[in-house]
Amino acid sequence: MKFLFIISLRNLFRQKRRNILLGSAMAFGVMILIIANSFSHGISDILFNRIVVYVAGHVNISINEGKGRDLPLFRDRDRLTKIAVETAGDKLIEYNEGVGIFLRAIGNGKVENLVLVGINTISRTLTQKQREEINESFKMLYGKFKDLGNKSIENPAILSKEKADALSVKPNDIVRVRYRNIYGQTQSSRLTVVGIMSNDNIFMQGVMFVELTNLKEMMGYRPYECGSIKLTLKEPQKDAADVADKIHSALRPGPAFILATAKVLNQDSSMNPDVSTSENKNSNPNTISSNNQNADTSPRVTLIPFMGNDEPLKKLMLSSFKLSSGNVKDVFGKDGMMVSDYLADILKIKQGDKLEFHFKPKFITKDKPEFAVREAIFSAVVKGIFISDDSTGKETIYMHEALFYPKFYENLPDLQSDSKFAFIPKEKASFKPALGTEWVLLDRSRSTDDLKQKLRAAGRKKIKAATIDVNSMYESASDVLKLENALNIITFTAVLILFFIILVGVVNTLRMTIRERTREIGTIRAIGMQKKDVLLIFVIETAILTAFASIAGTILAFISMAGLSNIAFQITDNPMGILLVKDRLHFVPTFIGIVGNIGFILFISIITAFFPSRKAANLSAADALRHFE
């Protein structure tokens, strides 16, 4: 084998000019391929790690609790982030609460539009690489990045040099901002400039940074709430879709309910002249004794929402429940509420009475003790009474989603601990599909169009529960990613060019060589070399040439890339500008990419060399020896 290699190598040097020509063509092709590949990797890197991450995240979990308008609000941040982080596992680099707002900022007599972005400076555990990246994107001209977390300053903020100039603010100046919080309320705040940075990333230039907790408070989030979440993955192209799928299935909602105590509101005699509470109590002195004792300690009930805004589900409810009083239109309509006959009995209530519910929220707002909600209270009018059975539960009250969810989300109850005491209709109950869940998980979508359509459909349904939608960048940013396909075409074209160079070059060269060496082939066959070794001699010869050419091409590619990325492009008003990094073309050669490319080229050149070589090997020795040129 070794001496076959030596023969091949020496043979290669016999026709220097011809092989140098072919080798140069190959090297050129390899160069183009590697440059194209590195460029498209660079673009991918920009797309996936510099654009998509900011725009959509590799995977994003978007929440909408809004009724009509967009309200990115999830009431239990820790639960959501835990699910996301645990599901993504070691594929995750970090997660961000994707909060950012457009705002109008007033500096010293100047007004500008800005994007305010929250950065978690406090509880962030960063890897060395992330730290470097942050330092890279936050080239501080003044102040320190960590000042964002300074509690003694009112809303510390860092902004880009461009925007600082535009607002004519200097460090320690106050910027007043106007924006709308998540609920759409007009809000204004004062931000203190603690840092000014220079930034090459266009996305960053219009951005002002504040500490995430400050921003969330400005936006109207309570500390335990969060908005949409964006995940940044280590290998987005490989894992994004899969992680999104897994998170999606981990986010299946449980049933929604409120475990509350119910109290009959003191009925106003003028409003209900025929029913007075005291009368009622007196006239029924011996209803179920245990309950009578509890007449003023109110019974514990489970409030269960039904999806009355969805016609088919409403029909399902209608057909599953029998009313002993109340009219169907009221009971199942907006503000509809029906109480079990059992409860109606205990509470001595009838249609039209008002009930007050008290329940414990999961989170008690500690930050503003004066508003601390230790007990959530709301009231609603009984629209009907249903005949209860085992499937409906006895101590249950069913409510229209429009009535239920605002109260449910406003003071989210602790479902996990409450579920021990609550009545939760069984899975097999006929009306189960019509009951509300903690949230509505939207189906995964396949593309941006699909996603838009889905959200529109969800909007039309007027779901009152919060919706959760899990998307990978392939759905949420598929438009951006289309660019990647365009680039792959460039690479593919380079491959094609190379393929033809190899095909034409190798086949031609080999045919000439073989013709010239016919007698030599005859000789070595006569001496006793096997066919397969003859074949190998030629294949190896081509492979060596290809390998040399590849190395040369790689070196050339690196030289060219170094040269190309030295040129600064001043593209300011062209959207293609986002594909530059620091005004320069961004090449990301990868070891795998280069080795893969070279491997691929070797493969095609060997395949191409194989056929003429086999023809040479199959020559009859006698004929070959008789051959004279």
Min dist. Cβ of residue 501 to another protein (A) = 26
Per-residue binder mask for another protein (CB under 8 A), 188-207, x = binder: xx------------------
Q: Is 187 in the site for another protein (CB under 8 A)?
A: yes
Query: Around 140, how many Cα atoms within 13 Å sit in the side-chain half-sphere?
Result: 16
Provide the 8-state DSSP code for 255: B
Binding range to another protein, per CB under 8 A, among 10-18, 118-126, 316-324, 441-449: 10-18
Q: Residue 107 is encoded by which pair of tokens?
A: 């500096």
Residues of span 92-151 touching another protein by CB under 8 A: 102, 104, 106, 111
Q: Is 187 or 205 the residue whose CB approaches another protein more closely?
A: 187
Q: Is 519 in the site for another protein (CB under 8 A)?
A: yes
Q: Is 528 or 563 the residue whose CB approaches another protein more closely?
A: 528
Per-residue binder mask for another protein (CB under 8 A), 527-566, x = binder: xxxxx-x---------------------------------
Q: Is 68 or 273 the residue whose CB approaches another protein more closely?
A: 68
Q: Residue 452 is encoded by which pair of tokens?
A: 């838009």
Binding range to another protein, per CB under 8 A, among 183-191, 434-442, 484-492, 595-603: 183-191
**Cβ neighbours for 556, distance < 8 A, ≥ 6 positions apart:** 27, 28, 30, 31
**β-sheet bridge partners, residue 59:** 231, 472
* Total of chain residues touching another protein, rule CB under 8 A: 46
Residues of span 53-82 touching another protein by CB under 8 A: 68-71
Q: Is 11 or 38 the residue whose CB approaches another protein more closely?
A: 11
Q: Is 10 in the site for another protein (CB under 8 A)?
A: yes
Q: Is 181 in the site for another protein (CB under 8 A)?
A: yes
At 440, give phi and psi (nearest 5°).
Answer: -110, 120
C-alpha distances (whole Å) from 183 to each of 76, 116, 217, 463, 490 are 17, 17, 13, 17, 46
Binder among 123, 125, 152, 186 for another protein (CB under 8 A): 186
Give dist(CA 102, CA 21) in Å, integer: 60
Q: Residue 160 is encoded by which pair of tokens?
A: 């880009």
Q: Is 77 or 517 the residue whose CB approaches another protein more closely?
A: 517
Provide the 8-state DSSP code for 182: T
Binder among 16, 178, 322, 334 for another protein (CB under 8 A): 178
**Cβ neighbours for 626, distance < 8 A, ≥ 6 positions apart:** 522
Q: Is 456 in the site for another protein (CB under 8 A)?
A: yes
Residues of span 204-223 touching another protein by CB under 8 A: 220
CB 305 within 8 A of CB 405: yes
Give dist(CA 495, CA 29) in Å, integer: 8
Binder among 17, 420, 428, 460 for another protein (CB under 8 A): 460
C-alpha distances (whole Å) from 563 to each of 486, 517, 585 are 24, 43, 10
Binder among 339, 524, 561, 601 for another protein (CB under 8 A): 524
Give dist(CA 61, CA 73) in Å, integer: 11
Give dist(CA 525, CA 621) in Å, integer: 6
Query: Please, what's the largest Cα pairwise distance for the chain?
Result: 129
Binding range to another protein, per CB under 8 A, among 202-210, 477-485, 559-567, 616-624: 616-624
Min dist. Cβ of residue 529 to another protein (A) = 6
Binder among 185, 283, 485, 572 for another protein (CB under 8 A): 185
Of 84, 109, 95, nearest in space to 173 by CA: 109
Residues of span 376-435 touching another protein by CB under 8 A: none
Min dist. Cβ of residue 68 to another protein (A) = 4
Q: Is 16 in the site for another protein (CB under 8 A)?
A: no
Binder among 141, 183, 268, 294 for another protein (CB under 8 A): 183
Burial class (CB in 10 A: 0-12, 13-18, 19+), 581: middle
Crossing angle for the helix pair 591-617 and 478-516, nearest 10 degrees? 30
Residue appearing with tokens 């230790």 = 374
Q: Residue 155 is encoded by which pair of tokens?
A: 């809303």
Q: Is 71 or 83 the residue whose CB approaches another protein more closely?
A: 71
Q: Is 353 or 520 the residue whose CB approaches another protein more closely?
A: 520
Binding residues for another protein (CB under 8 A): 3, 7, 10-11, 14, 68-71, 102, 104, 106, 111, 176, 178, 180-181, 183-189, 220, 456, 459-460, 519-520, 522-531, 533, 620-622, 625-626
